[in-house]
Amino acid sequence: MGEADNRTKAYEVDEHPFELRHEVKRLNARLDKIADSLEKSEFKDILENYTDPKKRIITNLMAGISRGLGLSLGTFVILGLLGYILSLFLDVPVIGEYLAEIKKYIDTNS
């Protein structure tokens, strides 16, 4: 923040606010703020990523692999928990018989 303060001090002018120098000072300070914002947002890196096809392909490939792996693992965990919870209900009269048939079917086909 000290560098930005030095820049704004360099543009300070002790003259009438409607003079051209005052407007130039105000615009220079505004441009400095915009430049700082662009540096903080790493706009250059984002622009390079979208202009270089190899980087974009690698980025999209990795994102697709990550999504697919996450979806597969998430489905596995949810179905495993659901199966465990349903196995707790095997003693319930109506639901237990239905689940026991499903379990028998799965065991015979595995």
pLDDT for 45 equals: 75
Q: Is the CB of residue 8 less than 8 Å from the CB of residue 29?
A: yes
pTM given for the model: 0.42
Angle in degrees, CA 25, 31, 34, rounded to 5: 145
pLDDT per residue as tens, the chain (110 positions):
555 555 555 555 555 556 777 788 888 999 999 888 877 777 777 777 778 888 888 889 999 999 999 999 999 999 989 888 877 776 667 777 777 888 888 888 87
- CA gap 83, 38 in Å, rounded: 51
The tokens describing 3, both together, are: 């560098």
